[in-house]
């Protein structure tokens, strides 16, 4: 009963839980071993397991940690002394009689049976005091999980999420390797000498950079050994919202026995993390140093270094090149579309291409350089037959920032040719550097991409839940897109499922009926189909989670799957079909929509509806209760939608209204409590029109 | 265009003529001979010894090249060494040391305005990248012309192409503002020091520098902003040089780099900079103009080798001279006494106290930066990171890059700090325990140890005799205070905070 009450409290507070997984330390393990990891996150109380997409990596022990509170002197000194005496196998001091200001904590109660990770947390709490200005709530909630990795697990990157009944977090990479695992030494109190971990190649080194820390390792190398140290740091957490600069910037340094620098590496223009390669100049024990480039640090500055001999494994650059006839670049060459020109731009040089065009013809010029791992920062210039500059493009920064890229260095031009004649296309590098490139000269090929967020959708059974869909349009694409959902036997799209032509961001409603059994997450596939002059285009949505960089930019970190999980009903639901999928409202007019809600608490009181990202010209009144059927628990509601007189005449948008309400419950001991919830309405297409007088 | 002009018959004739005329009127002399001639002409003859002691030389050399005094063991080893060329060897050793690169990079950081915050707003990412580049340039002894060319012509992200920060690290990024920082850096004088006509001809070089940002916090790209085709060619001139015409499609910075490097003030400014860093003053008086020109000529002919430039000055008789009168200092016939800079004093204190005197952090990045414990004040890359002590001692704000920003003068507040600081007193008491705790010690051993650590020289017999007398006259109960007073007096002595 108590558990049910707690769960009820949890689910009634909000529609979606949106737990957050901040970091995993260590960020990987060895196949065939069990690794104890510390996880930092926020709002993950409903989680009790992990999701990795494979049954070869599973949790065998899940322990939510209650952080050790601030301890006053007598208690802190007692436990410091307790651990010190225990370490030296000396008699344990008795507890002082006066314990008025002593605080309770599970780890203190179980001080003799703590795991290494727990002991590390306790020692830090006893000996260090965190700077209150440096505490980040997004990684404050700790969880310790023992993860068993099956011996036959394929080495590579897996994505780990925390999950529970109806809750699932964002994914964070978790790496599986075959080399021996080395871990930075945990916190050492003053009476224990800090030892520097030593290893030989190959190895996987795991560490965490805390404020101002430089981690040190000893690695034994033989003269002439070609070795690599490939660090993954920003890879695990591409952006830190409350950090400036907004991500971990690791630096790797290798020093010889005399302390002389042998090699140093940091991120490059293309790689987000450093790769240090070198040939050992002599036999010896070298020092490998890891730090943040600005000597910052916090718990989610987690890294893992793949250390080995020979050539470092290359990360594949994921960018599909268009399937077009290819030509190798020759200076001053004349081409006819479509063509994909390939070449290497020499330092300080420019690519010079000629082509003929007719008046009114639309041409597309696009470079592929940074996207294929080249350092080029291209700039495209199109010159008219009379030699005048017709168009220029440097970067193509999209409206939706997806992935790790922050500089969209490739160029794109779409130009309607003004006259018939011979045109000249010039491509240069902004920094006059050399690099490989592909240059597409083509007609426009309208296309689109879909991005859905969040990647872990938590819905309430018997209700609809909103996800956000971004539509990234290319080369003049402006057709409606019909959405479809697959992968679930029960969950389905509800409300409006058509992306109107002008829309680039819209809510997407997914309805989960109340008869689902079990809580296992399911992988959804969202597709969009559009008709273009090239035929039907079908594109599948990429799932992503928002992440902020440096308090300033919102990026979307792509996830391997679009997961869905659901929990029980909460008070109040609206069945699919209760509202029209589409309404047309003249400018300056209103529209009253009547619908029925089920299982709404009898004393529910609505407040002003919430309309995320709604335009200023769209308003909605607080819903009114029209009638109540207490026997069937059906409430009829009406809501009035207003379109301002100055609204655009042909607006076509999609909105999913949230109707917040509060109600009062009375417990058995007659204590009343006000609770809050919201009634989610399915996504609705709203069109405006101008009435001619 | 610039190269074409260099190859023109008129230019070659001019060069030949000027070389011949220079050669006819004032034949180039080695620095030693030139100095002797200057001193002779200035009628400077002194009866004082013309060279300082080995310990004095070592201390001076270490402080000027590395910012730190030599360690006691280094002093003793140097004094024991009977090699007549030990000074030359020490100069060569320090010029290739890491400490030299770190300290010189720090001084360059002042002139190149490497600072995260207002008014430069380079931000921490660019600061660390740019600083490391400067350090590596000095460590690898990159020729000065190459270094200048890289600074003047680099394009790209200021977080990835460190030299691109030269035109990024300016409070005023208008063509005039960029002309100002370029003039200050490479000619050693502000733009206003040139005639109005020269300024007007110089500024057009900077009209095609563009900036763009990305979606990375505070990243900026510096690039050549190509003017529209059909635009008129740019006509510009570096002060003291002829006008050059730059076609619309050509990056003026490349011509600018050629012209600046070819100009006389370029090499002379670096010669002056080297003298200033070693003597605290530049050879700018009329009687030193020939010396300056000759050194600049050798610097240019030697491939702009910065180490060689320093070596030439360090091995000249001027560097081994004791302090003297202002008239002698004016022509480098005496070594000018000057206060150590703020970072040197802080580092000296840390060395003498045997623990970091200060720790440094910054709240500009988040999470905050905490420089590793023991970081030298002269290894702080960011001009925005300071401390009340460094500010008190006149650490430059790095706003304009002008050498005058550094205030190496002693003030009443500074004296009061050194005399009265509670923190310093506590640290000295801690240090005293170290200096006195060794077994089989006696007053003499302790005094020798303290003098080596504090003043980087052995105690003189007179000083020792004075201290022994003082010690004996101190009641036994108060002899603990004797050492406290001695440490306190050493830290407050002129020798501790002055370079001489």
The predicted-structure confidence for B301-334, as pLDDT tens digits, reads as follows: 999 999 999 999 999 999 999 999 999 999 999 9
Residue A417's pLDDT band (boundaries 50, 70, 90)?
Answer: very high
Task: Give the model confidence (pLDDT) of A366-383 as tens digits.
Answer: 999 999 999 999 999 999
pLDDT given at position A461: 87
Whether the pLDDT of residue A308 is over 90: the answer is: yes
Q: Is B216 part of the contact surface with chain A (CB cutoff 8 Å)?
A: yes
Query: DSSP letters along A478-539, please?
Result: ---EEEEEES-SS-EEES--EE-TT-SEEEEEEEE-TT--S---EEEEEEEEEEETTEEEEE
SS3 B295: helix
Given a cut of 50, is residue A2 above it in pLDDT? no
Mean pLDDT of A210-230: 95
Strands B369-370, B156-157: pairing kind: unpaired
- Which one of A67-71, A91-95, A180-184 scores highest in mean pLDDT? A180-184
Contact A219, A252 (CB under 8 A): no
pLDDT score at A573? 86
Say which residue, A9 or A60, is predicted with more confidence: A60
DSSP, collapsed to helix, strand or coil, labels residue B296 as: helix
pLDDT at B229: 67
Asked if B208 contacts B224 with a C-beta cutoff of 8 angstroms, the reply is yes
Identify the pLDDT of residue B480.
Answer: 82
Contacts of A243 in chain B (CB under 8 A): 365-367
Q: What is the pLDDT of residue A5?
A: 41
Pull the structure tokens for residue B464. 């020792």
Distance from CA of B219 to the nearest CA of A (A): 9
Q: List all residues 6 or more positions away from A405 whose beta carbon is below 8 Å from its beta carbon.
A: A370
**Domains contained in chain A, CATH given:** 68-139 (no CATH), 179-322 (2.60.120.380), 326-444 (2.60.120.380), 448-567 (2.60.40), 582-689 (2.60.40)
Whether residue A173 has pLDDT greater than 70: yes
A249 neighbourhood in chain B, CB within 8 Å: 125
Residue A687 has a CB neighbour count (10 Å cut-off) of: 15
Q: Which residues of A touch B372 (CB under 8 A)?
A: 212, 214, 295
Q: Which chain B residues have a beta carbon less than 8 Å from that of A293?
A: 125, 128
Residue ranges of chain B whose pLDDT lies below 70: 1-27, 46-49, 229
Task: State how far residue A687 is from chain B, nearest Cα, in angstroms.
Answer: 34
Contact assessment for residue B315 and residue B274, using Cβ atoms and an 8 Å cutoff = no
Residues of A in Cβ contact (< 8 Å) with B217: 244-246, 549-550, 552-553
Distance from CA of A248 to the nearest CA of B (A): 10
Give the gap in angstroms from C-alpha B156 to the nearest C-alpha of chain A: 5
Q: Is B155 on the interface with A (CB under 8 A)?
A: yes
Q: Which pLDDT value is given to residue A567?
A: 85
Average the pLDDT over A155-160 and give the result.
97
Q: Which of chain A's residues have a Cβ under 8 Å away from the Cβ of B215?
A: 397, 401, 406-408, 549, 553, 555
Question: Would you place residue A6 in the very low, low, confident or very high pLDDT band (cuts 50, 70, 90)?
Answer: very low
Query: Would you state the pLDDT for residue B42?
Result: 87
Long-range contacts of B489-494 (CB under 8 A, 24+ apart): B490/B352, B490/B450, B490/B451, B490/B454, B490/B455, B491/B349, B491/B352, B491/B418, B491/B424, B491/B428, B491/B454, B492/B418, B492/B419, B493/B454, B493/B455
Q: Is A549 on the interface with B (CB under 8 A)?
A: yes
Of the partner residues A297, A387, A406, the one whose CB lies closest to the CB of residue B214: A406
Q: Is A478 on the interface with B (CB under 8 A)?
A: no
Q: Which residue of B has its CA nearest to A260?
A: B98
pLDDT value, residue B46: 54
Q: Quick check: A406 and B219 CB within 8 A?
A: yes
For an interface test with B, give the residue of A40, A132, A294, A423 to mutate (most B CBs within 10 A). Answer: A294
Chain A partners within 8 Å of B164 (Cβ): 431
pLDDT band of A11, cuts 50, 70, 90: very low
- Mean pLDDT over the full length of chain A: 92
Contact A530, A448 (CB under 8 A): yes
d(Cα B121, Cα B136) in Å, to the nearest integer? 23
3-state secondary structure of B247: coil
Which residues of chain A lie closer than 8 angstroms to B219, CB-CB?
406-407
CA pseudo-torsion sign B274, B276, B281, B286: positive
Name the residue of chain B whose CA is nearest to A261's CA: B98
The per-residue pLDDT for B1 is 37
Q: Report phi then psi at A181, rounded to 5.
A: -90, 130
Q: How far A378 CA sits from the closest chain B CA (Å)?
A: 11
Tokens found for residue A675: 């609770």
- How much is the pLDDT for A579? 86
State the Cα–Cα distance between residues A24 and A145, nearest whole angstrom: 10
Angle among Cα B258, B260, B265 to the nearest 5 degrees reads 145
Query: What is the number of other CB atoms lying within 10 angstroms of the CB of residue A340?
Result: 18
- Residue A602 has what pLDDT? 87
DSSP 3-state of B403: helix
What six digits make up the tokens of B338?
């000057």
Contacts with A, B 244-283, CB within 8 Å: 251
């Amino acid at each position: 009963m108590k558990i049910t009450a707690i769960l009820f409290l949890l689910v009634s507070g909000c529609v979606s839980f949106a737990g957050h997984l901040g970091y995993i330390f260590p960020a990987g393990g060895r196949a065939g071993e069990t690794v104890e990891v510390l996880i930092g996150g926020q709002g993950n109380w409903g989680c009790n397991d992990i999701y990795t997409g494979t049954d070869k990596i599973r949790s065998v022990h899940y322990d939510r940690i209650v952080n050790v509170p601030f301890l006053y002197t007598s208690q802190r000194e007692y436990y410091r002394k307790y651990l010190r005496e225990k370490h030296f196998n000396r008699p344990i001091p008795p507890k002082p009689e006066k314990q008025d200001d002593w605080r309770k904590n599970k780890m203190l109660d179980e001080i003799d049976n703590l795991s290494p990770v727990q002991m590390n947390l306790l020692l830090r709490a006893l000996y260090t005091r965190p700077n209150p200005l440096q505490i980040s709530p997004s990684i404050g909630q700790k969880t310790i999980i023992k993860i068993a990795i099956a011996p036959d697990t394929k080495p590579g990157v897996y994505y780990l999420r925390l999950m529970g009944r109806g809750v699932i977090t964002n994914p964070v990479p978790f790496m599986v390797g075959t080399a021996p695992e080395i871990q930075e030494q945990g916190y050492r109190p003053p009476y224990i000498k800090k030892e520097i971990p030593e290893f030989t190649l190959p190895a996987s080194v795991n560490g965490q950079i805390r404020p101002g820390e430089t981690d040190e390792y000893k690695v034994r190398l033989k003269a002439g050994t070609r070795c690599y140290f490939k660090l993954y740091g920003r890879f695990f957490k591409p952006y830190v919202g409350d950090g400036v600069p907004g991500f971990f910037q690791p630096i790797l340094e290798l020093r010889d026995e005399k302390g002389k620098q042998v090699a140093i590496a940091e991120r490059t223009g293309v790689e987000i993390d450093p790769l240090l390669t070198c040939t050992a100049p002599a036999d010896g024990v070298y020092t490998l140093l890891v730090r943040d480039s600005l000597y910052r640090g916090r718990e989610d500055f987690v890294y893992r270094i793949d250390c080995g001999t020979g050539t470092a494994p290359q990360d594949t650059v994921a960018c599909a090149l268009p399937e077009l006839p290819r030509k190798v670049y020759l200076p001053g060459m004349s081409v006819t579309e479509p063509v994909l020109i390939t070449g290497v731009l020499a330092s300080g040089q420019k690519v010079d291409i000629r082509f003929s065009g007719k008046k009114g013809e639309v041409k597309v010029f696009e470079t592929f350089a940074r996207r294929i791992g080249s350092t080029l920062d291209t700039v495209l210039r199109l010159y008219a037959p009379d030699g005048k500059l017709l168009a220029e493009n440097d970067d193509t920064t999209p409206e939706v920032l997806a992935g790790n890229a922050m500089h969209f260095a490739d160029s794109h031009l779409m130009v309607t040719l003004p006259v018939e004649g011979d045109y000249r296309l010039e491509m240069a590098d902004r920094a006059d550097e050399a690099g490989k490139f592909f240059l597409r000269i083509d007609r426009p090929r309208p296309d689109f991409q879909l991005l859905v967020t969040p990647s872990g959708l938590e819905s309430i059974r018997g209700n609809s839940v909103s996800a956000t869909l971004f539509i990234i349009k290319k080369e003049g694409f402006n057709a409606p897109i019909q959405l479809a959902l697959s992968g679930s036997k029960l969950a389905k799209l509800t409300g409006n499922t058509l992306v109107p032509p002008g829309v680039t961001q819209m809510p997407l409603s997914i309805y989960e009926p109340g008869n689902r059994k079990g809580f296992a997450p399911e992988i959804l596939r969202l597709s969009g189909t559009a008709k273009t002059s090239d035929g039907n285009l079908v594109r599948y949505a990429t799932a992503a989670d928002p992440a902020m960089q440096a308090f300033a930019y919102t990026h979307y970190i792509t996830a391997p799957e679009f997961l869905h999980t659901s929990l029980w009903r909460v008070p109040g639901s609206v069945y699919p079909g209760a509202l029209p999928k589409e309404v047309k409202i003249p400018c300056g007019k209103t529209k009253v929509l009547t619908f029925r809600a089920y299982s709404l608490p009898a004393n529910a009181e609505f407040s002003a509806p919430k309309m995320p990202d709604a335009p200023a010209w769209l308003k909605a009144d607080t819903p009114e209760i029209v009638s109540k059927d207490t026997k069937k628990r059906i409430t009829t509601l009406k809501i009035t939608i207003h379109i301002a007189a100055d609204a655009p005449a042909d607006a076509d948008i999609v909105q999913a209204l949230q109707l917040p309400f509060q109600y009062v419950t009375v417990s058995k001991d007659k204590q009343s409590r006000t609770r809050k919830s919201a009634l989610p309405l399915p996504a609705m297409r709203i069109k405006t029109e101008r009435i001619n007088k | 265009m610039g190269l074409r002009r260099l190859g023109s018959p008129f230019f070659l004739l001019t060069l030949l003529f000027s070389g011949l005329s220079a050669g006819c009127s004032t034949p180039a002399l080695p620095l030693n001979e030139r100095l002797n001639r200057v001193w002779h002409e200035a009628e400077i003859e002194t009866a004082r010894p013309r060279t300082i002691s080995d310990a004095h030389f070592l201390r001076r050399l270490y402080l000027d090249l590395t910012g730190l005094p030599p360690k006691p063991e280094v002093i003793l080893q140097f004094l024991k060494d009977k090699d007549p060329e030990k000074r030359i060897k020490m100069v060569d050793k320090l010029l290739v040391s890491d400490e030299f690169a770190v300290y010189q990079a720090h001084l360059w950081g002042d002139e190149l305005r490497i600072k995260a915050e207002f008014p430069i707003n380079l931000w921490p990412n660019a600061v660390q990248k740019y600083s490391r580049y400067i350090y590596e340039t000095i460590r690898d002894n990159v020729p000065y012309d190459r270094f200048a060319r890289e600074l003047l012509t680099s394009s790209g992200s200021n977080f990835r192409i460190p030299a691109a920060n030269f035109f990024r690290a300016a409070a005023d990024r208008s063509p005039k503002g960029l002309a100002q920082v370029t003039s200050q850096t490479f000619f050693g004088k502000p733009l206003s020091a040139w005639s109005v006509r020269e300024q007007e001809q110089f500024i057009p070089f900077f009209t095609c520098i563009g900036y763009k940002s990305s979606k990375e916090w505070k990243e900026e790209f510096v690039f050549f902003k190509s003017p529209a085709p059909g635009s008129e060619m740019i006509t510009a001139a570096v002060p003291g040089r002829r006008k050059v015409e730059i076609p619309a499609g050509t990056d003026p910075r490349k011509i600018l780099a050629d012209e600046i490097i070819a100009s006389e003030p370029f090499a002379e400014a670096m010669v002056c900079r080297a003298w200033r860093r070693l003597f605290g003053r530049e050879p700018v008086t009329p009687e030193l103009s020939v010396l300056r020109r000759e050194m600049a000529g050798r610097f240019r002919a030697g491939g702009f080798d910065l180490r060689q430039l320093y070596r030439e000055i360090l091995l000249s008789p001027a560097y081994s001279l004791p302090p003297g009168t202002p008239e002698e200092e004016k022509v480098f016939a005496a070594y000018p006494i000057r206060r150590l800079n703020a970072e040197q004093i802080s580092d000296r204190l840390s060395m003498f106290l045997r623990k970091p005197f200060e720790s440094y952090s910054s709240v500009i990045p988040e999470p905050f930066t905490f420089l590793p414990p023991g970081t030298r004040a002269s290894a702080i890359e960011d001009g925005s990171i300071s401390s009340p002590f460094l500010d008190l001692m006149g650490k430059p704000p790095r706003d304009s890059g002008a050498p005058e920003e550094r205030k190496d003068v002693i003030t009443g507040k500074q004296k009061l700090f050194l005399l009265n600081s509670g923190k310093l007193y506590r640290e000295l008491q801690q240090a005293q325990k170290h200096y006195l705790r060794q077994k089989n010690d006696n007053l003499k051993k302790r005094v020798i140890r303290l003098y080596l650590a504090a003043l980087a020289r052995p105690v003189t017999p007179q000083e020792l005799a004075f201290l022994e007398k003082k010690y004996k006259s101190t009641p036994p109960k108060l002899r603990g205070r004797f050492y406290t007073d001695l440490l306190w007096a050493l830290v407050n002595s002129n020798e501790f905070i002055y370079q001489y």
